[in-house]
Amino acid sequence: MPHAAHREEPAFAPAPLADALPVIETVATPDDLVTLILDRTPERGGYRTLVAPQSQGIDAGPTAILLAQGLVAATQPSLLVEWAPGTSQLAASFGLASSPGLAELIAGDATFEDVITTIPGTQCHFLSAGDGLETVAAARDPDQVNLVLDALDEAYAHIIVTGEHDFVRTLFETIEGRFDAGIVVTDPDQPHATLRDPDGTFLGFEVADIHLLKIAQSSAAMAAAGLRIKEQAPGRRAKQPA
């Protein structure tokens, strides 16, 4: 499948795969996340990170937002991408229209200029899920999804993708784990989730050649972060970085 030439394809398979579990580094704060991701940022850009909840019901969105904002503050052109079915929750929280978005882009019904906006109060760009992404993505060849992500890699130093657990897991499997970093978001307010990924895995997969990180973010703290973002001025259409 087409893919940005600078990224080596990571190896991944449904757990269990091997006796030795991959190392998942625990991170204390969003600022620490930013520092660790910056340390691995290649000069040529196109670093792709998937921010995923440890289980269904945990909201990884605010963590992804704080990471994207931190990278932009470090002068790294960044794009936050929402990969989610149904109504775009992040777009609503930003006061932005949820469509057109990624669904329309993959379907060929919109251009990059049509769908990329700016998160209110920041210099960070945002791409919403659009209308019916789940159906659109399932109906398209995985190559089309890869081509869209590869094009974004060429325009931004960082692509940060986030969404609901089960949906981003499907994306991860569909594009064969082609991310540079995976961030697991846990919620100390939900320590005993009924269904959660096995320890030492990312989205239920054992992976290699992907930088794995874990951060605990309480629902209350993340809700407060989301509220501060929502109170900013409305967003606007954005021009891609040169």
Q: Which residue has the higher pLDDT, 121 or 8?
A: 121
Q: What is the pLDDT of residue 226?
A: 54
- Buried b / exposed e over 215-224, threshold 16 CB at 10 Å, is bbbeeebbee
- Tell me what the mean pLDDT of segment 4-10 comes to: 48
- Given a contact cutoff of 8 angstroms between Cβ atoms, the answer to whether 68 and 119 are in contact is yes
Residues 6+ apart with CB under 8 A from 20: none
pLDDT digits (tens, 9 = 90+) for 56-71: 888 899 999 999 999 9
234: nearest Cα among 76, 133, 160, 126: 126
What is the per-residue pLDDT for 143?
Answer: 84
* Residue 109, token pair as written in the block: 């019904």
What's the pLDDT tens digit per position in 188-215? 877 655 566 777 778 888 888 889 999 9
User: What are φ and ψ of residue 16, in 5° steps?
Assistant: -85, 150
- The per-residue b/e assignment along 174-195, b for 16 or more CB within 10 angstroms, e otherwise, is bbebbbbbbbbbbbeebeebee
From the list 78, 229, 104, 80, the residue with the least C-alpha distance to 163 is 80
Q: What is the pLDDT of residues 108-167, one digit of tens each?
A: 999 999 999 999 888 899 999 999 998 888 888 888 888 999 999 999 999 999 999 889
Rounded CA-CA distance 153/49 in Å is 11
pLDDT of residue 193: 55
Specify which of 2-11, 85-94, 168-177 reaches the highest per-range mean pLDDT: 168-177
- Which 3 state secondary structure label does DSSP give 3? coil
The phi and psi torsions of 187 (rounded to 5 degrees) equal: -130, 110
Residues 68-120 have pLDDT tens digits of 999 999 999 999 999 988 777 888 888 898 899 999 999 999 999 999 999 98
pTM comes to 0.83
Question: 159: how many CB neighbours lie within 10 A of its CB?
Answer: 25
Matching CATH number, 12-189+197-231, of 3.30.420.40, 3.40.50.300, 3.30.70.60, 2.40.50.140: 3.40.50.300
Q: Which two tokens stand for residue 25?
A: 């580094």
Residue 41: is it exposed, middle or buried by C-beta count within 10 angstroms (0-12/13-18/19+)? middle
- Return d(Cα 228, Cα 21) in angstroms, integer: 38
Q: What is the pLDDT of residue 237?
A: 53
